[in-house]
Amino acid sequence: MSAPTLRGICAASVFFSLALTLLPEGRERRIASLCVTAALVLMLLGLFRSFSWESYAVSLAEMQSASDAIASSAEEQNRALSRIVIERECGEYIMDKAAELSLAVRSVRVEAVWSREGVWIPRRVSIVLERDGDGRARLASLIEAQLGIPERDQEWSVEGNT
């Protein structure tokens, strides 16, 4: 005799409930209800008896491994996105400060590195100017003071003179 399936148990419970509604109120209905309940309980016990705990444990371990891989991938993607955001915001900051100092900047590229503290820190910057200006030294010192990028890690060039 094969073990009942969950679909079979559901079908039997629907059939039994329909059969019970056809019985008249009274002693016969109570006895039939008791028998139906006992039959359904036995079917459920049969379902659990045929349950493979070994395959359940293997499946659970596989799902945990897949979950760990997904979490690791998500953490890696979050790190990469955080780096992009930090680099972009630092670049925008430099462009804004250059505009305040009347420096014509063509492009800014900031490179961030992962720190021991677990955050992205701007480490290098490459700035291409349309033309050299008086505010260049002031901007270099602002970048060092505000972003922590020392002047030795700031690469400056003028468009056409690279």
Per-residue pLDDT tens digits for 62-113: 999 999 999 999 999 998 999 999 999 999 999 999 999 888 889 999 999 9
Q: Where are the domains of the chain?
A: 6-49, 78-158
Element housing 3 (H / E): none
The residues, ordered by sequence, that sit 6+ positions from 14 with a Cβ below 8 Å of its Cβ are: none
d(CA 66, CA 148): 40
Angle between helices 6-22 and 27-49 (to 10 degrees): 180
Mean pLDDT, the chain, whole residue set: 87
The fold for domain 78-158 equals GMP Synthetase; Chain A, domain 3 (3.30.300)
7 versus 142: the higher-pLDDT residue is 142
